[in-house]
Amino acid sequence: MEIQLSSFANKVAIVTGGGQGIGKAIARFFLNAGIKVAVSQSECCRIAELGQNLRLRRSIDSK
């Protein structure tokens, strides 16, 4: 299956469970493709860790 990334222009991808596993990989994929991403995770320490890791590659804000 081919994804047309241009269809995500000016949109935000919402990734639940993005602090680990498949959700984390999907969030990274979208960020690397230049897509804006909102990530949620029930464990705040995991989302903070993801934010610190990805901040090195992109300008992001983790709350």
Q: Strand, coil or helix: what is 47?
A: helix
Which is higher by pLDDT, 3 or 42? 42
> Rounded CA gap, 10 and 56, in Å?
23
Structure confidence by residue, pLDDT tens digits, 7-51: 777 888 888 887 788 988 888 888 888 888 888 777 767 777 777
Q: How many other β-carbons are positioned within 10 Å of the β-carbon of residue 19? A: 22
Question: What global pTM score does this model have?
Answer: 0.66
